[in-house]
Structure 1
Amino acid sequence: MKSSVEQLSATRAKLTVEVPFEELKPEFDNAYKSLAQQVSLPGFRKGKVPAKILEARLGRGSILNEVLNEMLPSRYSQAVEENDVKALGQPEIDIAELEDNDHVTFTAEVDVRPELEVPDFSDLSVEVDALEADEESVESELTNLRA
């Protein structure tokens, strides 16, 4: 998996992720298993339909759709971690390129935490004025508290 980050603004980033089909074998296995559980074909028990027959009956598109739905969250999270992006909120994901049996490329735009420059606090000094209380105001406050 290859990923790259492009800063769109101080608070927005665009991740571009390319995943080769060789890395998607577990997702394909899960997609075939999931679809086999949902489909009922004559001559096969539920969940026991071979992958080639599923692909012939349902079409490659439905299988790819299932694979993409399973693959996107994990690969997005992995790309965020790899590139040390501090994402905030849900991304806007777009499938940029889908070459069957070759690779899948998707982009994700997400809000990110801005980088802040914190000044050196050792240079700052603060002066606090001394509080002055006269005897009369102290006595009046004590009287109020006793009451």
Structure 2
Amino acid sequence: MQGFGAAARTQRVKKGGPLGVLLVVDTAPLLLRMREVVEGMPSLRLAGAFRTDDQLQEWAMWDREGFHFAFVDMGLAEGRWGEAVRKLQSQPRAGSIVALGPHLWKEVREANAAMGVYHLLEKGDIAAFRGFLEEQVR
């Protein structure tokens, strides 16, 4: 797990209910495992789970609850990661975005920070994903 910058723990205020987690992950088996982790933690609610930017666009148009944390795969098809991040940041009830990248190199962290994404996890590291969520719900 890699956090950097002066980003707040979450940009949305907790209001006593479960934290909303949004998953946008290109790989079906990984999306399923991440979904199982979220659904296994009672202090979280799954705001949505999508494999493509198009599915995310449709959700964003109709969503009214927002999210506290969105985990976005940097490997989305056709380089649409940046579009997905911008769409999420423009949501009225947007929370923090966590990038899922192939590695945690400094260059990747800096590129993410330039887009306003201050958290980076290695894609496929379920232990880091679970640890990040457990830290947030304490």
What's the TM-score, normalizing by structure 1? 0.22
Which structure has the highest strand share of the two? 1
What's the TM-score, normalizing by structure 2? 0.23
